[in-house]
Amino acid sequence: MSILVDKNTKVVVQGITGRDGSFHAKQMKSYGTNVVAGVTPGKGGESVDGIPVFNSVKEAVEKKGANTSVIYVPAKFAVDAIYEAADARVKLIVCISEGIPAIDMLKVYNYLKTTETRLVGPNSPGVITPEVAKVGIMPGQIHKKGEIGVVSRSGTLTYEVVYHLTLNGLGQSTCIGIGGDQIIGTNFIDCLFLFEKDPQTKAVVLIGEIGGTDEEEAALYVKKNMKKPVVAFVAGRTAPPGKRMGHAGAIISGGSGTAEEKIEAFEKAKIKVAPTPAEVAALIKEELVLIQQNKPNT
Amino acid sequence: MSILVDKNTKVVVQGITGRDGSFHAKQMKSYGTNVVAGVTPGKGGESVDGIPVFNSVKEAVEKKGANTSVIYVPAKFAVDAIYEAADARVKLIVCISEGIPAIDMLKVYNYLKTTETRLVGPNSPGVITPEVAKVGIMPGQIHKKGEIGVVSRSGTLTYEVVYHLTLNGLGQSTCIGIGGDQIIGTNFIDCLFLFEKDPQTKAVVLIGEIGGTDEEEAALYVKKNMKKPVVAFVAGRTAPPGKRMGHAGAIISGGSGTAEEKIEAFEKAKIKVAPTPAEVAALIKEELVLIQQNKPNT
Amino acid sequence: MKIHEYQAKEIFKRYGIPVQAGEVANSPEEGKNIAEKIGKPVMVKAQVLVGGRGKAGGIKYAKNPDEAYQYAKEILGMEIKGIKVKKVLVTEAADISSEAYIGVIVDRKTKKPVVIVSQAGGIDIEEVAKTTPEKIFKLEVDPLLGLQSFQARDLGSKIYSDFKIAAKAADVIKKLYFAFTENDCSLAEINPFITTPKGEVWALDAKINLDDSGLARHPEIESMRDKDAEDPSEMKAREGGLSFVKLNGNIGCIVNGAGLAMATMDLVKHFGEEPANFLDIGGSSSPEKVLNAMKIILKEPNVKAILFNIFGGITRCDDVANGIVQAVKQLKPPVPIAVRLTGTNEDKAKKILEKVNLTATSSMVDVVKKAIELSKG
Amino acid sequence: MKIHEYQAKEIFKRYGIPVQAGEVANSPEEGKNIAEKIGKPVMVKAQVLVGGRGKAGGIKYAKNPDEAYQYAKEILGMEIKGIKVKKVLVTEAADISSEAYIGVIVDRKTKKPVVIVSQAGGIDIEEVAKTTPEKIFKLEVDPLLGLQSFQARDLGSKIYSDFKIAAKAADVIKKLYFAFTENDCSLAEINPFITTPKGEVWALDAKINLDDSGLARHPEIESMRDKDAEDPSEMKAREGGLSFVKLNGNIGCIVNGAGLAMATMDLVKHFGEEPANFLDIGGSSSPEKVLNAMKIILKEPNVKAILFNIFGGITRCDDVANGIVQAVKQLKPPVPIAVRLTGTNEDKAKKILEKVNLTATSSMVDVVKKAIELSKG
């Protein structure tokens, strides 16, 4: 098994005729993802790399059975795209688009709570279940099927960690980029909950960064609710307060949201924190050894 | 038993220091209603006829255990009053105020659906469970405790019907004025559902009027879902199309919403329709006799 | 409240809905001047607050300013459904490829704003709904979230297969929805919404009905009220806080409460006569209101008797009785009066009425019968 | 984006929030003129985009225009937290009875707009939250419904026992909430919100932080950007679509992705050196962006080596390599360059780099170590 994305995932690509949409639609398809449809209003009837394009998500759902949407449209159309996908009742929306105003996302988040649809992102690199399906923009080839769940606020930093996991023979169950924005649809805790339940996942890597208190809350959650080991990495120890580091989420404000606070929270929750991205793999290996030793029947 | 209002009803009067609010607070109290508090922002600490006044509904709920609100504030403050009462988690709101814009009521209605609070009205004369509690503006003395449920879109016309019921020895379980506006919180069907379940109620009087299709839907509902007899009266046989008769709901538009259509719908559902308000009582008596005759043990 | 096409178009324009150049004219000369200014063939359209203008000859195509003058003259003289035309809208004529319908209503059934579109525009939409319901598309909008662009696009695509036109229609649908919600409309309608051979779209006609309860927060719309178009008695009643509708019978009815007022009218009819009006004096019951109501009813020449039906609740019977006494003394009504009073302060009220030799009954049936009897002299 | 107090007050005024008369001055003379116009004692307030003005002496009370001149002169010369004061706000001085705090934020935890009020205004609210959390009241607002009047009243009552003042505060809270949502603020704050002995209320200070993602729809606010107050390199980077923050170390970092960029900086520190900057070239990876990034970093005199850390995904390594080659040829950088490239088109990229005699590594740890080594000459 895996979480969020699996062999039943049927993807509709919103914004498929755009620069990013068409490129990644092809990439996803060549990775083996079941990309069943694309949507660009006004381009219904066309096709992209053999993928049929529709005018609306509803059509893609009705005609092709899409159950997962991935959104590549420009920020100013992205909120509408999310509502459209939710209205068409896809189960999962992965929003790659970045630059959606927070005020809009507050509405989106609270509206989606009243529906059955889960949103990952915005400003997410996507979700990948290695060797099964990739829904997003991550480089597929660095991933390998396995037992490690990865959840992260970051994009390329996640690739870095995954790259080392794979190099060290540690395959992944599912890797989720929850997105770098302040207001996101799915947070660390949601993913930790799913990983804890997922039989394929044996251990989890959590990649945090400065800003907010999501890591602190995740640490508490792990302590209280998880039996599976979690290893963390936190980026931004050298980041200065008051400066936004790249995206809306990554800012130390009012002396809170620092890497030190987060690392301390993890350590309090007995979660090992890797000093560098490369060292995550070693810590995970340690945890797996511990699991093996503690198994009653060995 | 009864519906909506019973001996456990603890009323908070919103707008208690206003002209209508103070008058009816006294009237309700002297009828025997358990009026536990009043609210007028800025007048907290005062009292009206011995009823303590608070600045907010929340205070009235916390300090006096109010579970039912009745709203007498002017239309332009009424929407806020409804949200305030819902936020304070009263179970029932009876909104007497009239003149609330429909656009606002659409939001109120759809918002309240997400809460546990029921709204009766706006533009309602109130709800009375005779000899137990009166929450509204109806003349208490014409009512009598008994077994007939009354539900109506109208105010004084309801009094007319109730007056004849009482004159004919037919007491009432509960009488509900659902309000004369287009967009109201509780409709005929909601009340019919409650009356059908209420052991005290033996038969129901439904008083409709021109405009909309609520009566038609109620007729279908009775046919499908009710075992208790229902007798109807419909006002507005002589009303001309396109003219609003008094309030927003009472208008025949586009040739639909006529009294004839409604009467036909009732007759199709085997619901007897009284030709005059006075004759409702006689039809109810007939129905009660039929129940008596059909009882297995008589 | 209803407003004229030209007024609705003013509101539409503020929201960027495409409306053709045009102005309202009160005389044939003005009509000609406007046509000259436009410099193209024009439509001359009667501005009346009733439907069926076209069939009644109230809409004409004028090739040039002289024809515009001629048609304006014709139309400004005519009556449509009994209403005299006092204004015409002179507006650029359009080259029509297709006619669709776009409307937004407050839907009492779903308790949501509902957007309605149909390819079958230009004719009575309720007729289309009855005969070919498959041509009508409705969308319930979440009033807390508002209409989303994808929904407008879906609706546009329902009525146009050409996506470019559908996108233009979607844009208009969004704007119409904003206009609807921001102005407290109960109906906002474009019928027909047209396309031209060049691929333009236009709101050829415009209809807005306002929710009276929302008018207080839109003084600029309240000021659009066409007092000329309203019945003077109905206007006077409204200004005096009374709800009044003129009818054709001869029993003048004064009642408290809309439902009871309708039931009273029905009872008049039930006993073989016709009511002269609907009149609700409402909840608060000052003697002035009663006096006012009497004044309004006595203006109607067909009234042969006046019927009071008061069920006291908030309305106190003595207040009404005092009003009747004042009215009888001041107005010296030339027709007989039958009074029913019951409820709050009934006894006190009956005593008051003795001053002017009126005996009130407690029964609605009795008072209706009595009024009919009195009306026959 | 941050804007100055005087700009935030302009926005507040549009929403009817009570703000005292005042104008911004660029010179002591202007300051004096404004004080004369006001005709009462004034406050002269440094306009800088950092906190702690008061403690730094950047806020002064001037009894008359001459004092205003004097203080404006003093303040316009000073530096606050390293930032030179270029403007002062000259505004009517208030007679303060009490100081409260009112603010609205986007709350990432509850995913709602949160209104925060406290009786303890005038000082650092985060300090109050830490030391006396019972003095802070927070309200989560349903973003679909918006702030309701009763909620604003409740909040007003939390900070004022006198209901008249509480009602005035409630009114300001509602207006602040509208200003917040309609302008895409991430923070809108009045601190202190004051009362006077006469029972007036005033927003004595005003702070607005904008959500950068919302700026595109508020060009009038974007135009408030104080380009003087921004670091020239940071401004240039922003205009070129790069995310750049200047730091004090000597390893210039060019990375794709914010998280990886921070991790790279951390790794530099981990190996005993300090990064000169944060720089994220973002997802799309044109050679121009790389060239631009190099230009910006080479402006910093403390940079002793440049470190490229690129994990190709959407970013294609060959694009970056081409950019590096261009930059090396054009800019002839006086400092050494260490490159790490991995992922999409890595091999192609490594070949391209050979043109300028650069050998790229695939390891992040290696490249950081190499850059540090190179920086030491």
Return the pLDDT at A210: 95
Confidence of residue B252 (pLDDT cuts 50, 70, 90): confident
Q: Which of the pair, D314 or D319, is modelled with greater confidence?
A: D319
Q: Is the pLDDT of residue A293 over 90?
A: no
Instruction: Tell me the average pLDDT across B111-118.
Output: 96
Query: C357 to each of C12, C328, C354, how far by Cα in Å?
Result: 58, 10, 5
Nearest to B55 among D145, D151, D163 (CB): D163
pTM (predicted TM-score): 0.94
Tokens read off for A211:
């800003």
Candidates C144, C145, C148, C181: best to mutate against D (most CBs of D within 10 A) is C144
To the nearest whole Å, the CA of C167 is away from the closest chain B CA by 27
Q: What integer best gives the mean pLDDT of chain B?
A: 95
The DSSP bridge pattern shows strands A47-48 and A35-39 to be unpaired
Return the pLDDT at C240: 84
Residues of chain C with pLDDT under 70: 284-285
Candidates C69, C71, C101, C160; catalytic one: C101
User: Is the separation of the CB atoms in D192 and A108 below 8 Å?
Assistant: no
Confidence of residue A109 (pLDDT cuts 50, 70, 90): very high
Q: Is the pLDDT of residue B298 over 70?
A: no
Q: Alpha-carbon distance A180 to D199, whole Å?
A: 46
Decide if domain D98-222 falls under CATH 3.30.470.20.
yes
Residues of chain D contacting residue C145, judged by C-beta atoms under 8 Å apart: 144
Q: If you count residue pairs, one on A and one on C, with CB atoms under 8 Å apart, how many are there?
A: 32
Gyration radius (Cα) of chain B, Å: 19
Q: Where are the domains of chain A?
A: 1-123, 138-298
Q: Alpha-carbon distance B14 to B33, whole Å?
A: 15
We find that the CATH architecture of domain C231-376 is 3-Layer(aba) Sandwich (3.40)
Candidates B238, B253, B256, B276: best to mutate against C (most CBs of C within 10 A) is B238
Interval B177-221: pLDDT, tens: 999 999 999 999 999 999 999 999 999 999 999 999 999 999 999
Interval D93-125: pLDDT, tens: 999 999 999 999 999 999 999 999 999 888 778
To the nearest whole Å, the CA of C168 is away from the closest chain A CA by 12
Q: Alpha-carbon distance B115 to B82, whole Å?
A: 12
| Residue C219, number of CB atoms within 10 A of its CB | 8
Tokens read off for B204:
């129901």
Chains that touch C (3 or more CB pairs under 8 A): A, B, D
Q: Is the pLDDT of residue B124 over 80?
A: yes
Q: Is the pLDDT of residue B269 over 90?
A: yes
What are the residue numbers of the active site of D? Answer: 101, 189
Residue A113's nearest CA partner among D106, B114, D107 is: B114
How large is the ipTM? 0.92
Instruction: Tell me the average pLDDT across D15-37.
Output: 96
Confidence of residue A297 (pLDDT cuts 50, 70, 90): low
Interval D179-231: pLDDT, tens: 999 999 999 999 999 999 999 999 999 999 999 999 999 999 999 998 777 77
- Residue entry with tokens 């930790």: A192
Confidence of residue B297 (pLDDT cuts 50, 70, 90): low
Q: Alpha-carbon distance B190 to D212, whole Å?
A: 48
Q: Would you call D201 exposed, middle or buried from its count of C-beta atoms within 10 A (0-12, 13-18, 19+)? A: buried
Q: Is residue C354 among the annotated active site residues?
A: no
D319-355 burial: b if 16+ Cβ within 10 Å, else e = bbbbbbbbbbeeeebebbbbbbbbbbbbeebbebbee
Return the pLDDT at A294: 82
Instruction: Tell me the average pLDDT across B33-48.
Output: 96
User: Is the separation of the CB atoms in D358 and D350 below 8 Å?
Assistant: no
Return the pLDDT at D136: 93
Residues of chain C contacting residue A55, judged by C-beta atoms under 8 Å apart: 153, 157, 163
Q: Is residue C177 among the annotated active site residues?
A: no
Interval B141-166: pLDDT, tens: 999 999 999 999 999 999 999 999 99
Residues of chain C contacting residue B181, judged by C-beta atoms under 8 Å apart: 213
Interval A168-204: pLDDT, tens: 999 999 999 999 999 999 999 999 999 999 999 999 9
Q: Do B106 and C111 touch (CB under 8 A)?
A: yes
Confidence of residue D284 (pLDDT cuts 50, 70, 90): low
CA triplet D276, A279, A208: central angle to 5 degrees?
65
Q: Concatenate the DSSP letters of all residues of D265-325 into one string.
A: HHHHHHTT--BSEEEE--SS--HHHHHHHHHHHHT-TT--EEEEEEEESSS-HHHHHHHHH
Which CATH superfamily is A138-298 part of? Succinyl-CoA synthetase domains (3.40.50.261)
Query: C342 to each of A56, B130, C255, C287, C358, how far by Cα in Å?
Result: 63, 19, 12, 17, 15
Q: Where are the domains of chain C?
A: 21-92, 98-222, 231-376
Return the pLDDT at A214: 95
We find that the CATH architecture of domain B1-123 is 3-Layer(aba) Sandwich (3.40)
Q: Is the pLDDT of residue D348 over 90?
A: yes
- The separation between the first and the last C-alpha atoms of chain D, rounded to the nearest angstrom, is 39
Which CATH number does D21-92 carry?
3.30.1490.20
Return the pLDDT at C284: 66
Nearest to A111 among C145, C151, C164 (CB): C145
Instruction: Tell me the average pLDDT across A129-134.
Output: 97
